[in-house]
Structure 1
Amino acid sequence: MPLSAADIIAQLTALLGANGVIGEAGQMAGYLTEPRKRFHQPASAVTLPASVEQVQAIVRWASENRVGIIPQGGNTGLVGAQVPLRGDEVIVSLARLDRIRSIDVAAGTMTAEAGVILENAHKAAEAEDTIFPLWLGSQGSARVGGLLSSNAGGVNVLAYGNARELTMGVEAVMADGRLYRGLNSLKKDNTGYDLKDLLVGAEGTLGIITAATLKIFPKPEDHETALVSIAGPEAALTLFQLLRERIGSRLNAFEIVPRIGLDMQLRQGMLDRDPSAGTSPWYALIEVSRMRGGTPGALMAAIEAAFTDSLIDNAVFAESLADRTRMWAFREQMSEVQSKEGASIKHDVSVPIAAVPQLIAEGIAAAERLAPGIRPVPFGHMGDGNIHFNFSQPVGAEPKAFMAEFDEKLHEAIYEIVLRLGGSVSAEHGIGQLKIDLLEQVKDPVALDMMRAIKSALDPNGILNPGKMLPR
């Protein structure tokens, strides 16, 4: 017989103590509502384990009682992997596992528990004159476990890689409660399957990550940051190639944003002033790191060469930390400002870098044919081909009516272009419950069979984040 919610709460309270369980619906609300507010299901309970041993105890209990459990970090995910799907699951919040266990500067590693907030990981690394380079807009609330489970990207992927590439090893509780002790920091270890890479990006469907050994890097002495005025994505691609030739691996970030995004932020009062050099159809936000002993001015010299080649129209360089902060705020506030402008239809997609201009051109044309007056707002990581291809409702449109009429149609149009160009329908946000049906449509059938076999082997009772990622 399935346990009732009351039985679940009582048994978990006996296991964890009163401070380790939330059973009242109102108190659970913050764990159930994700940033986009697209999913609305209750949970049987929320657990707050204070140790790895308590996580193991919860998982053993869940396995014995066939109760679905959902690992949750900072609840910043955008595809619903971290919130209930069925309404009877138990959420396992990792927030209390928030210690930095160790930092080894010589080895270039930091071991952090799953509940460590990304911003705190940054501070811990910087206290040792190093950096942990995973950087994204939700760093004040996103937690290490969730970032690894979704294989988060961010703006420094170009130079440092995504979460999987920044992870040396993981510790994880498996579906039967056993602890996988994989916190090694070896750069070379050919002793079998790379189980770390299997768990990172699995969205909690194969195990619950409780800690990770992460790569840290020497702290740059300085950054050169510029906001460059460009004609469009074609010019951005040519400029990116020039910068890679001249600057190489010191090129940290190359982000593109259309003028409409800047106009929205100025209109909504989200910027105290225009950070650009003047009105332009598009902008490229570029950042280069300079290590100790390095020669300053690499970005300036490259931008001057771009001017000579007529690749750019204008540019402004950050002359202070305030300037740099303002430029990055312009980029990082793009998603937030769209919510202030009404309903928006969003796509986290990637294509080969050379195909980005074609994706944007064809995608905008398709959207404008479907919905005259729609406002295209494509922006993001030009340097790795990951574009957040978003569309805001026409001015004056009724949000619910706009979404009801165009959400599905626009997804179909954009995804058709992405797949035709050899791209991915999920670049860095994951699958969760939002894209699970889409995954079944686009994923190689053999790959899906392999994924199901792995899930069955590691979670035979199907208790770990049931119904997420893997098509039913």
Structure 2
Amino acid sequence: MTLPAADVVAQLTALIGGNAVIGETDKMGNFLNEPRKRFHQTAAAVALPASVEQVQAIVRWASEHGIGVIPQGGNTGLVGAQVPLRGDEVIVSLGKLDRIRSVDVAAGTMTAEAGVILENAHKAAEAENTIFPLWLASQGSARVGGLLSSNAGGVNVLAYGNARELTMGVEAVLADGRLYQGLNSLKKDNTGYDLKDLLVGAEGTLGIITAATLKIFPKPEDYETALVNITGPEAALTLFQMVRERIGSRLNAFEIIPAAGLAMQLRHGMLDRDPTAGPSHWYGLIEVSRMKGGAAGTLMAAIEAAFADGLIDNAVLAESLSDRTRMWSFREQMSEVQSKEGASIKHDVSVPIAAVPQLIAEGSAAAERLFPGIRPVPFGHMGDGNIHFNFSQPIGADGKTFMAQADEAMHEAIYEIVLRLGGSISAEHGIGQLKRELLAQVKDPVALDMMRAIKTALDPKGILNPGKMLG
């Protein structure tokens, strides 16, 4: 940084006003404290622009002085992409850019600014009898810009795709302050490189997304939701294939959760009652959408066929909205409950769907060999191969000692299996600070050269989210 911190604050204040700049470290807490508490740097300042023009002014100023800027949405990211790395950067919070600019039902699009909270995007779509189907546990605080910058996934990827597939176009401030006006709502536009796809998933390293045109879909008339008892991931794979063949594109979600996850949530009082049909080694959460005029009972028919084939031995279908909410709470609280059980080693990985059982079996066995008493808690998106392969500390162990001994060894063991199976070290959380060095080790060298060339071309001074993803 070429300016003292006091000058940074003073000059930002002159640009966007004193009420839009935070310079005192003790007032930056909400912007610095990321969910996993792994990164602890401060920032030179926090800027809270209220318009796209103010974002442009900040970036032009930062470019002139060679100061790093970190775009931030709801600060829900899990790999440290949205918080400082060095301590001399300026956080640019997009929270005030929170307008829904338009909803076009005929075109099937909604244009939302980067600071729109995901839950509010859901409400805006639902007000027009449509849905925006990106759905994840942090939807009450995660914001559109951050979700797109990390190419968020969630539980509806199976039916609707991830954030990139749900994005028609973006508006973004480039490293020199120019505005890329790419809010395209065309389904066909074959006029060169798809620049939107460069910016979505780039974690703010190529531009600061300020708005996006998002896909919306007709609202289902109802949902059929069930929790089924399964013997393990092998049975889950066979069940998933059978249900998908029967139901096709109306299969919204197929999640798997181990018995350990249910025990933890009941132990900590996170469920008002057991939502399952009874004890089981594993559970599958299946949801099917029913469109207007569609026949009810599709999921029930599939479950009856699964019973007949011996794929499941018990099941419960949601009979009310409260039943459905409880079932989804069981799934969505899986990450939160592990923090109540002590230290937890987390992996956001993906493998080909057919390899999920092998990943879980080999990973659990490797963990037990390395650290007897460790508790594997793999769960997640069976339908798209994205498993959150987490490990809780042995009961009674000291959390700090466990992390010091096990963290690096467990990452090495799990990533070796993932890569051998043709998988990815980051399925939906991104790279950020956490996996930057790992990316350099496992990514194809030619792909890395291409990524670095793009970064250099679009951000020659390296001011956009410096040190993230590529270093």
Alignment TM-score, normalising by the size of structure 2:
1.00
2:462 partner letter? G
Listed as ranges, the matches of 1:67-466 within 5 Å are: 67-466=67-466
Q: Structure 1, residues 152-204: CA drift from partner, whole Å, max 9, x if none?
A: 00000000000000000000000000000000100000000000000000000
Are positions 1:29 and 2:29 aligned together?
yes
Quote how far apart the aligned CAs of 1:71 are.
Answer: 0.1
Q: Distance in 2 between matches of 1:455 and 1:20?
A: 29
Quote how far apart the aligned CAs of 1:2 are.
Answer: 1.4
Q: Distance in 2 between matches of 1:433 and 1:80?
A: 5
Q: Distance in 1 between matches of 2:9 and 2:28?
A: 13
Counterpart residue number, 1:6: 6
Q: Structure 1, residues 254-313: CA drift from partner, whole Å, max 9, x if none?
A: 000000000000000000000000000000000000000000000000000000000101
Q: Distance in 2 between matches of 1:16 and 1:31?
A: 18
Q: Distance in 2 between matches of 1:379 and 1:29?
A: 31
SS at match of 2:423: coil
Quote how far apart the aligned CAs of 1:235 are.
Answer: 0.2
Q: Distance in 2 between matches of 1:12 and 1:272?
A: 49
Q: Distance in 1 between matches of 2:127 and 2:368?
A: 50
Q: Structure 1, residues 12-49: CA drift from partner, whole Å, max 9, x if none?
A: 00001111100111111110110000000010000000
Q: Structure 1, residues 47-100: CA drift from partner, whole Å, max 9, x if none?
A: 000000000000000000000000000000000000000010000000000000
Q: Any gaps of 5 or more consecutive residues in structure 1?
A: none
Q: Distance in 1 between matches of 2:12 and 2:198?
A: 29
2:329 partner letter? A
SS at match of 1:338: helix
1:55 partner letter? V
SS at match of 1:214: strand
What is the Cα-based RMSD across aligned positions, in Å?
0.5
2:359 partner letter? L
Listed as ranges, the matches of 1:54-65 within 5 Å are: 54-65=54-65
1:385 partner letter? G
Q: Structure 1 residues 26-35 or 173-182, which shifts more?
A: 26-35
Q: Distance in 2 between matches of 1:376 and 1:221?
A: 38
Q: Any gaps of 5 or more consecutive residues in structure 2?
A: none
Q: Distance in 2 between matches of 1:57 and 1:199?
A: 20
Q: Structure 1, residues 217-244: CA drift from partner, whole Å, max 9, x if none?
A: 0000000000000000000000000001
Alignment TM-score, normalising by the size of structure 1:
0.99
SS at match of 2:37: coil
Q: Distance in 2 between matches of 1:89 and 1:310?
A: 58
Quote how far apart the aligned CAs of 1:448 are.
Answer: 0.4
2:61 partner letter? W
Q: Structure 1, residues 353-383: CA drift from partner, whole Å, max 9, x if none?
A: 0000000000000000011001100000000
Quote how far apart the aligned CAs of 1:140 are.
Answer: 0.1
Q: Distance in 1 between matches of 2:373 and 2:155?
A: 30
1:422 partner letter? G
SS at match of 2:338: helix
Quote how far apart the aligned CAs of 1:350 are.
Answer: 0.2
SS at match of 1:262: helix
1:78 partner letter? L
2:218 partner letter? P
1:380 partner letter? G
1:110 partner letter? M
User: Percent sequence identity over matched residues?
Assistant: 86
Q: Distance in 2 between matches of 1:302 and 1:334?
A: 26
1:139 partner letter? Q
Q: Distance in 2 between matches of 1:359 and 1:261?
A: 18
2:72 partner letter? Q
Q: How many residues align?
A: 471
Q: Distance in 2 between matches of 1:244 and 1:357?
A: 18
Quote how far apart the aligned CAs of 1:329 are.
Answer: 0.1
2:294 partner letter? G
Q: Structure 1, residues 400-419: CA drift from partner, whole Å, max 9, x if none?
A: 00000000000000000000
SS at match of 1:376: strand
Q: Structure 1 residues 23-32 or 377-386, which shifts more?
A: 23-32
SS at match of 2:284: strand
Q: Structure 1 residues 20-29 or 90-99, which shifts more?
A: 20-29
Q: Distance in 2 between matches of 1:94 and 1:26?
A: 20
Which contiguous aligned blocks of 4+ residues in structure 1 show a shift greater than 2 angstroms? none
SS at match of 1:310: coil
